[in-house]
Amino acid sequence: MKIYNTLSRKKETFKPIEKDFVSLYTCGPTVYNYAHIGNLRTYVFEDIFKRTLLSNGYKVKHVMNITDVGHLTSDEDEGEDKMDVAVAREKKTPEEIADFYADAFKEDISKLNILQPDIWCKATEHIADMIKLVERIEKNGYSYVGKNGNVYFDTSKFANYGNFAKLDLDNLQSGARIEIDEDKKHPRDFVLWFLTKGSKFKGHILKWNSPWGEGWPGWHIECSAMSIKYLGENFDIHCGGVDHISIHHTNEIAQAEAATGKKWVNYWLHGEFLIMKQGKMAKSVGNFVTLKSLTDKNYDPLAFRYMCLNTHYRKKLNFDWEGLDSARNALSTLRENIRILKETDGLKTAQEKIEDYRSKFLDAINDDLNMPRALEVVWKLIREEEHINNQKKYEILLEFDKILGLDLGRIETSSKIPKEIDALIKKREEYRKKKDWEKADEVREEIRKKGYIIEDAPEGIRVKPI
């Protein structure tokens, strides 16, 4: 299996630390609001990755955090705390807000057929682990306390700081998740522990005692602390979106490696952004699309999953409604074909041919998760007229679906298309197989008279009410 490792900026052959076992950490949601479909694209990519690992026979231990401690928004919003904003907006406690949006997130990912992590970890339940990690960083001499009492990570002490992101440190500008703060020795230094006393954010609701005084953890420490706790000081894979490379993951690495004195994560995978015509997905520009806004328009969430599969995870995905319509049509055609395959036989099976499709599919996914190529194999197999019996096709497609996660075994069309039409479709298929085109056309006409049309699309058969 080959994967593109952000550490080396190269495709590498994946080798886990322990034979047949993979430790995987994925940065989870902030729970002050609904996830948008950009976030969800990243979780779909991570799910495909995890399913690919599983299909390669690895046992996977997957950990995902829930960021419920409250963090400052970026300088766009002049640094209000997101949790405080949500509390004021919704008139609920921070716990209620976090629980509500964490549940909404879990519902979203289950609708997208994303496998649940083995361990969910909430930041607020791991403050002691974060404090311990900051103490280790401090003991090793990588931190300092500013005049305001905040504990900072001293990036000048960490020789490899910024290598990961190939940062131009001398010209590093303040940006998302870089705090503007006169107490820092250097702009790239970041907070490990915020102190209430001396903070501009006096109203910060969530705070805890610590050896440095009452306050709350910095923006990056939770992922280092919780991943080490559950996966160890050296583990296999860490994933997230590309926006996290330059700051969040760079700082996670600095914290973990400063504390342990050794290499932390072996492979880093990053998913590219979902973008809209208007650019970045952000509430402020009015293009914040949630999964609920898709389902409100009667889209199947899995149509969005199909859309994600159709673009390589390291390419930008341009989201628009026409694109989603095409994905929806392709998915419903795929399902319709699967249903027909399930219910019809066909020619005698040639085992080599099946193996050929299986290996093409696996080659595609094992080549840095090339899902668009894997989907091409799926469609080619559906269109394959010779050599493979329909039952076999059906079985392999369901096997592929363990990775695609499109729930292809779900027979939803039967409820919409009457049994009588189903039977006629099968009858027509039989004629087509015998190349009796005349009879096949007669059946098509009969179906039309009963109010349904059949389209022989390049991807297969599509049935629609007229």
> Does 31 interact with Zn ion (rule: CB under 5 A)?
no
Q: Report the residue number, 227 or 333, with the smaller CB distance to Zn ion.
A: 227
C-beta of 63: minimal distance to Zn ion in Å? 11
Binds ligand AMP by CB under 6 A, chosen from 217, 240, 301, 405 = 240
Window of 150-158, 266-274, 304-312, 414-422 that interacts with ligand AMP by CB under 6 A: 266-274
38 binds, among ligand AMP, Zn ion, none (CB under 5 to 8 A by kind): ligand AMP
> Does 30 interact with ligand AMP (rule: CB under 6 A)?
yes
281 binds, among Zn ion, ligand AMP, none (CB under 5 to 8 A by kind): ligand AMP
Q: Report the residue number, 38 or 149, with the smaller CB distance to Zn ion.
A: 38
Q: Report the residue number, 251 or 333, with the smaller CB distance to Zn ion.
A: 251
70 binds, among Zn ion, ligand AMP, none (CB under 5 to 8 A by kind): none
375 binds, among ligand AMP, Zn ion, none (CB under 5 to 8 A by kind): none
Binds Zn ion by CB under 5 A, chosen from 1, 24, 27, 112 = 27
> Does 374 interact with ligand AMP (rule: CB under 6 A)?
no
Binds ligand AMP by CB under 6 A, chosen from 201, 273, 288, 379 = 273
C-beta of 58: minimal distance to ligand AMP in Å? 22
C-beta of 89: minimal distance to ligand AMP in Å? 17
Binds ligand AMP by CB under 6 A, chosen from 1, 23, 32, 38 = 38
Q: Any residues with CB less than 8 A from the CB of 365 and at least 6 apart, and which?
A: 48, 52, 55, 371, 374, 403
> Does 123 interact with Zn ion (rule: CB under 5 A)?
no
How far apart, in Å, are the Cα atoms of 156 and each of 153, 160, 189, 365?
9, 9, 8, 41
Binds ligand AMP by CB under 6 A, chosen from 4, 6, 25, 29 = 29
Contact track, Zn ion, 210-239, x by CB under 5 A = -------------x----------------
C-beta of 80: minimal distance to Zn ion in Å? 21
Q: Report the residue number, 217 or 271, with the smaller CB distance to ligand AMP.
A: 271
3-state secondary structure the chain: CEEEECCCCEEEECCCCECCEEEEEECCCECCCCCCHHHHHHHHHHHHHHHHHHHCCCEEEEEEEEECCCCECCHHHCCCEHHHHHHHHHCCCHHHHHHHHHHHHHHHHHHCCCCCCCEEEEHHHHHHHHHHHHHHHHHCCCEEECCCCCEEECHHHCCCCCCCCCCCHHHCCCCCCCCCCCCCCCCCCEEEEEECCCCCCCCCCCCECCCCCCEEECCCHHHHHHHHHHHCCCEEEEEEEHHHHHHHHHHHHHHHHHHHCCCCEEEEEEECCEEECCECCCHHHCCCCCHHHHHHCCCCHHHHHHHHHCCCCCCCEECCHHHHHHHHHHHHHHHHHHHHHHHCCCCCCCHHHHHHHHHHHHHHHHECCCHHHHHHHHHHHHHCCCCCCHHHHHHHHHHHHHHHCCCCCCCCHHHHCCHHHHHHHHHHHHHHHCCCHHHHHHHHHHHHHCCEEEEEECCEEEEEEC
> Does 274 interact with ligand AMP (rule: CB under 6 A)?
yes
Binds ligand AMP by CB under 6 A, chosen from 5, 6, 23, 42 = 42
Is the distance from CB of 188 to CB of 162 less than 8 angstroms? Answer: yes
Binds ligand AMP by CB under 6 A, chosen from 71, 111, 244, 249 = 244
Q: Report the residue number, 256 or 443, with the smaller CB distance to ligand AMP.
A: 256
> Does 39 interact with ligand AMP (rule: CB under 6 A)?
yes
424 binds, among Zn ion, ligand AMP, none (CB under 5 to 8 A by kind): none
Q: Report the residue number, 27 or 237, with the smaller CB distance to Zn ion.
A: 27
Handedness of CA 376, 381, 384, 387 (dihedral sign): positive
Q: Any residues with CB less than 8 A from the CB of 3 and at least 6 apart, and which?
A: 11, 12, 14, 49, 267, 269, 368, 369
Q: Report the residue number, 274 or 374, with the smaller CB distance to ligand AMP.
A: 274
223 binds, among Zn ion, ligand AMP, none (CB under 5 to 8 A by kind): Zn ion
> Does 27 interact with ligand AMP (rule: CB under 6 A)?
yes
Rule CB under 5 A: which residues touch Zn ion?
A: 27, 223
List of residues contacting ligand AMP (CB under 6 A): 27, 29-30, 38-39, 41-42, 240-241, 243-244, 271, 273-274, 281
